[in-house]
């Protein structure tokens, strides 16, 4: 007697994690907090700079999340320095080096986008 087996998970998005569904969220993190919003914004901006999240591979998305986390931590340490608080400078140097390596490996654009003038805008619209 044959029994039919149905797939357990299938391809339903309900069976996927929030990160897999493209929300850039981390488990157990309040993304309404200032750091959570900053992390999400960094992820989204870097993905946009690389052509959009929809064209990125999973390893690229993972590297973007890692780079965003390092950037948030560097910003926290920089803020502490400006406030006059004690900071382990070796940690900041290590994070800065990690940031540079991740950005290089990810091929993140480091040059600022050229500023558009009013004339550029009007010329494009014509």
Mean pLDDT of the chain: 81
Instruction: Tell which residue, 39, 26, 28, 119, has the closest CA to residue 74.
Output: 39
Residue 46 lies in a domain: yes
- DSSP-based three-state secondary structure for 55: helix
pLDDT tens digits, one per residue of 56-110 = 999 999 999 999 999 999 999 999 999 999 999 999 999 999 999 999 998 866 5
Residue 74 lies in a domain: yes
Q: Kindly tell me if the per-residue pLDDT of 3 is higher than 60.
A: no
Note down the domain range covering 70.
31-109
pLDDT recorded at residue 113: 64
Measured CA to CA, the distance from residue 63 to residue 38 in angstroms comes to: 16
Measured CA to CA, the distance from residue 52 to residue 27 in angstroms comes to: 23
What letter does residue 53 receive in the DSSP assignment?
Answer: G
Number of domains, the chain: 1
pLDDT recorded at residue 77: 95
Measured CA to CA, the distance from residue 106 to residue 61 in angstroms comes to: 10
pLDDT recorded at residue 124: 82
DSSP per residue, 11-26? T-GGGS-TTTTT----
């Amino acid at each position: 007697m044959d029994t039919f087996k149905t797939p357990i998970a299938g391809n339903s998005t309900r069976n996927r994690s929030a990160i897999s569904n493209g929300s850039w969220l981390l488990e157990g993190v309040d993304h309404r907090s200032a750091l959570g919003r900053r992390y999400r914004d960094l992820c989204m901006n870097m993905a946009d700079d690389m052509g959009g999240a929809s064209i990125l591979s999973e390893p690229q998305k993972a590297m973007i999340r890692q780079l965003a986390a390092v950037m948030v931590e560097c910003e926290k340490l920089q803020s502490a320095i400006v406030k006059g608080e004690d900071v382990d400078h070796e940690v900041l140097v290590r994070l800065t080096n990690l940031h540079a390596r991740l950005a290089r490996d990810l091929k993140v654009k480091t040059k600022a986008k050229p500023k558009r003038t009013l004339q550029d805008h009007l010329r494009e619209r014509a």
